[in-house]
């Protein structure tokens, strides 16, 4: 899908994922996010299951280590046939370049397309206060995210994870085909949980997001399919 809505599958195990996805008439319409909780429990088997269902897959493991370790890990991930993966931009340009190299090596070995490499800028749970007083960043949030995104672009990444609040700045300074993937998406009537920098799907779309990530408002809904359609309609306009 050109502008995917990514459902965050924040479940404990494969059985819970199966029960959730079985409620959708056509899971091949879905883009789903597999994070650390699920992947560490189920391992690559979850990717195999999702591929059988025809889902597009965002493997969100947020690698953050020395360049060689990240390169070797991404060489393994590149063989899985997923569509998107993440690293932390704070690992620096050498690590980001190594991640890209590893993905290409792994994908070539498996004969699959390399996934898009997305660099996490600042987590949407990070407030301006935390950025200043705990991370001791010299830049305000908008400038910090922009600097990290520009570094990621120069290092060969295909896009970044950012909040909707930085989209206007990023769109003004980065190439049109750079991917801006936005978590922390909530309708006004939904609880924000541990997210701080949040926005509605229609606001994210208007400000230039290329994809959004929605978790609990869909996965914890009494009718997940209806919730997915509600968010999808707001997102796609």
Q: Binding residue per annotation — 126?
A: no
Predicted confidence at residue 2, as pLDDT, reads 77
Q: Considering only 54-63, 115-124, 192-201, which range has the smallest mean pLDDT?
A: 192-201
Which CATH number belongs to the domain containing residue 60 in this structure? 3.20.20.70
67 known ligand binder? yes
Domains of the chain: total: 1
Cβ burial of 170 (10 Å; 0-12, 13-18, 19+) is buried
What is the per-residue pLDDT for 199? 86
pLDDT for position 190: 59
Given a cut of 80, is residue 1 above it in pLDDT? no
Residue 125: pLDDT band with limits 50, 70, 90: confident
Overall average pLDDT of the 159-187 stretch: 95
Bridge partners, residue 182, by sequence:
212
Tell me which residue of 67, 210, 90 sits closest to 151, measured CA to CA: 90
Token pair 């909530």 is found at 186
The residues that are catalytic are: 60, 62, 65
Length of the chain: 237
Q: What are phi and psi of 201, to 5 degrees?
A: -60, -40
Question: Which residue segment(s) compose the domain that 118 sits in?
Answer: 5-236
- Residue 60 CB: number of other CB atoms within 10 A? 24
pLDDT of residue 234 exceeding 80: yes
At 39-48, the pLDDT tens digits run 999 999 999 9
> Is 127 strand, coil or helix?
coil
The helix/strand/coil state of 160 is: strand
Q: What pLDDT is attached to residue 124?
A: 82
- CA dist 77 and 232 (Å) reads 29
9 is in an annotated binding site: no
pLDDT tens digits for range 179-213: 999 998 988 765 555 555 678 999 999 999 999 99
Binding residue per annotation — 184? no
The answer on whether 208 is annotated among ligand-binding residues is no
Identify the CA nearest to 39 among candidates 95, 82, 102.
Answer: 82
Tell me the CA distances in angstroms from 70 to 100, 119, 199, one per residue in order: 9, 13, 32
């Amino acid at each position: 899908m050109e502008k995917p809505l990514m459902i965050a599958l924040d479940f404990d195990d494969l059985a819970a994922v199966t029960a959730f996805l079985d409620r959708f008439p056509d899971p091949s319409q879905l883009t789903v996010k597999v994070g650390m909780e699920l992947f560490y429990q189920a391992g690559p088997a979850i990717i195999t299951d999702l591929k059988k269902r025809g889902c597009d897959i965002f493997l969100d493991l947020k690698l953050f280590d020395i360049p060689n370790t990240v390169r070797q890990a991404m060489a393994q991930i590149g063989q899985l046939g997923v569509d998107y993966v993440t690293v932390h931009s704070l690992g620096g340009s050498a690590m980001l370049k190594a991640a890209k190299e590893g993905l290409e090596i792994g994908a070539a070995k498996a004969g699959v397309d390399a996934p898009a490499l997305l660099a996490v800028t600042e987590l949407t749970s990070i407030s301006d206060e935390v950025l200043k007083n705990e991370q001791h960043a010299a830049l305000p949030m908008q400038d910090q995210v922009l600097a990290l995104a520009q570094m990621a672009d120069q290092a060969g990444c295909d896009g970044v994870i950012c909040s909707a609040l930085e989209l206007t700045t990023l769109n003004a300074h980065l190439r049109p085909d750079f991917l801006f993937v936005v978590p922390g998406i909530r309708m006004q009537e939904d609880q924000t949980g541990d997210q701080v920098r949040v926005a509605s799907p229609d606001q994210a779309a208007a400000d230039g997001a290329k994809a959004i990530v929605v978790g609990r408002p869909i996965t914890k809904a009494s009718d997940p399919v209806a919730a997915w359609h509600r968010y999808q309609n707001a997102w796609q306009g």
